[in-house]
């Protein structure tokens, strides 16, 4: 492990806005995010596979009356988002270090209002299909923790993953689908508050279009 990673893991251990193995809230946070962490009854929004948490932090700044949780297994990435939120004194941000497969261990049924999936690994090979974050087995997890009519967002530069997602989402308990294959030329861009991840900016600067969809749990 590099010295830089060690430093970031130490930051996570010392940061109140990171919930991970070894911390008291880790085992009791399920169903208690509003009462034990945020101390309010505001809506909860997840960013899955959040990486450095650009969306988690950006949306938290734009919507102070909502609670935002970035979820990722990579502690060195989470540390960057955590520190950014602390520097901005954002009280409506948390980061959960866990595998997305284990969401039901940390969120009760209907505890979440929105889910964002931003630039996930497209898992392009057929044998990787079950690992795509819009695979039906993940959609079942999302349906469980989302409130009725809760919103699911997907943003990706990968046209194959996007086409796959459009196909399976409508077949697996989501409705009111809206989408675009060129987000920044679409009216749907207004809800994004001009937030871009590092890699999204690189893609955008190279002329790639961004695919986006939103739908609701039916």
Q: Which residues are catalytic?
A: 121
Q: How many other C-beta atoms lie within 10 A of the C-beta of residue 202?
A: 12
Dihedral over alpha carbons 155, 63, 77, 80 (to 10 degrees): 140
Residues facing 44 on adjacent strands = 67
Cβ pair 97, 78 in contact under 8 A: yes
Residues facing 68 on adjacent strands = 45, 93
Gap between the Cα atoms of 82 and 93, Å rounded: 8
Gap between the Cα atoms of 45 and 127, Å rounded: 31
Placement of tokens 């060129």 in the chain = 182
């Amino acid at each position: 492990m590099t010295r830089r990673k060690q430093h970031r893991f130490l930051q996570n251990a010392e940061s109140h806005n990171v919930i991970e193995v070894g911390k008291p809230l880790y085992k009791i946070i399920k169903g208690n995010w509003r009462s034990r962490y945020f101390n309010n009854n505001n809506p909860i929004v997840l960013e899955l596979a959040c990486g450095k948490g650009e969306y988690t932090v950006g949306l938290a700044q734009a919507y102070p009356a909502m609670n935002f949780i970035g979820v990722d297994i990579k502690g060195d990435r989470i540390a960057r988002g955590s520190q950014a939120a602390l520097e901005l004194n954002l009280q409506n941000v948390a980061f959960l270090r866990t595998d997305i497969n284990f969401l039901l261990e940390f969120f009760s049924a209907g505890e979440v209002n929105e889910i964002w999936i931003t630039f996930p690994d497209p898992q392009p090979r057929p044998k990787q299909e079950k690992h795509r974050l819009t695979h039906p087995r993940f959609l079942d997890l999302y349906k469980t923790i989302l409130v009725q009519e809760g919103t699911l967002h997907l943003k990706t530069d990968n046209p194959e993953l996007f086409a796959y997602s459009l196909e399976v989402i409508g077949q697996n308990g989501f409705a009111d689908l809206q989408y675009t294959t060129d987000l920044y030329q679409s009216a749907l861009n207004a809800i994004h508050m001009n937030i871009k991840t590092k890699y999204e900016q690189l893609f955008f600067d190279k002329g790639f279009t961004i695919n986006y969809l939103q739908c609701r749990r039916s």
